[in-house]
A and B are shown apart, each in its own frame.
Chain A
Amino acid sequence: MEIGEKIRVLGSAAKYDLCCSSYSKDKAGICHSFLPDGRCVTLFKTLMTNSCRNDCKYCVNRCNRAKTKVEFNAKEIADITLKLHKQNVIEGLFLSSGISGDEEKTMEDMINAVRVLRYEKKFKGYIHLKIIPGASKYLVNEACKIADRVSINVEACSSSYLNEIASQKDFKNDILKRMLWIKENKVRSGHTTQFVVGAGNETDREIVNFLAKLYDKADLRRGYFSAFSPVKQTPLEKTPAVPLKREARLYNVDWLMRIYRFKKEEIVYNDNGNLDLNKDPKTAIAENEREKYPLDVNEADFNELIRVPGIGIQGAQRIITAQKAHEKITKWEQLSRVGVVKKRAMPFLKVNGCVQKTLGCAV
């Protein structure tokens, strides 16, 4: 099979793995192109092989699904990555694999491919390596040494939910234990994980609580969410796709917890334990704490400001610097100038003693 065709087959098999932005400690990744699905292309994302012994119900590579079996060797992966990197169409490599023989052999092949790229071809770009569930501690350590970032997918938020969709994987031993080994290694750009949202019956509350636990105990850099989308010739092919909005809301909450330091207990859910798809989680939290508002924009501190819907980290920083310079914000227009989304922030702020509870109605 020609190289181009191999890329098409193995790239298509790897595309559902979304946890691969190329952010490193030193610098943010660069987007070299954009896809019609709104994502950007920063890495050459591929599998070593699409042949897999596992029978995960949601997966495009599951063993019982008819497909052309294709595999790359280490040299092919290194050559393609280097060529694309020199054209400046990618920043690096994202390498994952189906488990063709046993976990050890698969993980070893992947590490070997990265070694060829790093040491023989002297590649200095970014490498994200997937850890195969069940791989030995030695190989996990090796992977952590050689890659910029590693990840192992938890897929679900508990052992029972994982059993529903991927019965061959042991949640605690194959995944969580490996995650703790990764934590010990302190990988350059940290480690990440991914949830398949909606393949099981888990609620958003369960996902968010489990993710918060991973941030706390496993030193996770960030979690990714992939809304379940049915694949033909799988047991879940007739299960309806999960709306992308649910995925987006989970990302909103994840952002609130990681960047804005909201606590998991503060997140507002509906009676079913899911997030409201039609309301921004930050607004829902602010409305839940109505007694704290309106805030005087010239007196509020940074931690209070970032909790206001429509005010981001930068906007809050600018307001604080204006406060330090003894410059009073007296008009709503000034807030727009420092990057505040006026429409969303208005009901929660007091400017010049005035509160605008609804648009066009100053109180």
Chain B
Amino acid sequence: MSIVLNKEMQAVEFVKVTKSFGPMLAVNAVSLSIRRGEFLTVLGPSGCGKSTLLNMIAGFQTQDSGEIRIEGKDVSSMPPYKRDTGMVFQNYALFPHMNVRDNVAFGLQMRKHPKHDIDTEVAKALAMVKLEGMEARKARQLSGGQQQRVALARAIAFGPKVLLLDEPLSALDKSLRSQMQVELKELHERTGLTTIFVTHDQGEALSLSDRIVVMSKGEIQQVSKPLDLYRHPANGFVASFIGEINAFPVADCIVANDHVRFAFGENITLRAPRRDGQPLKTGDKVNLFVRPEHIAVAGQPDNGDPRVTGRIVTHIYQGTHTITRVTVPALGLVELRVEGGDIIERRPVGSDVDLAIMLDNAVIIRS
């Protein structure tokens, strides 16, 4: 049987999906389309509803209202075993009474494939995760990383419509995690499987995804490509959740022809060039978010960036760079990032320092 699939067809769609557990609203009117072949990450803190989204695609949980479609078909009343989704669980959930081969073959057996087909497909899936020749091992004889690979092979072996990954890397140690990140990406490129990846780790999200969905309190905050998400967060939550960022107190805008001034109280005013497409007007109250790499110790020749003076509170040396915390009157605690350890030697804790704040890349959000 072959179906001609519309290339524009969405792999998974949420239409105004809401789900609550008792009084707790886990997912609130979420609408989202996941394209075929896309690697989409759902990112958010624990309890934001990201796992509930995944469980509703797999059918382990049923939405209270709204519609979920897989390849255009409403699956709302379809039991999990008919949905053709391949899930990798956080704890892998390998069948402990079966060997690797039987674990990976399970989905194929359930679909009544002939035995020689199953053997071929199992071998193919195991090769895909670099576990050739491990068929006879029991699940508990494998290391964490190997179990992870078997779980992946099991989830892709039967050719699911969508691959669901529920924080699959969180149980691995750091070096193994970055290795598996690379392999996940390669696997996605080789198989072209639509992949939905749930994580609370923004680093993983930024490095793996075609698009990222940021969730908080059951609602989608932003859907963007990784680069856009980092550069143009839609709101304060996204700005502070993706990477490190300084959140300045609320400022008053004063708009002139070629620039905007942001006033923090009586004494501090920061000046930035006017940007296209930023409809700010005098009297607006805004929140400014500035990344630590966009704040520097001011050099002698003034290059025009607005300057403030603060006192160094602490240096956090990180090898490649140093994070320095400075208290600035009216701005509060400000973090800046300086390459190497230079600033530690030159500016002791407690000394005053002039800072240049580069507002060109600042995130400005109306409050």
Asked whether A and B interact, the reply is no
Binding site for A on B (CB under 8 A): none
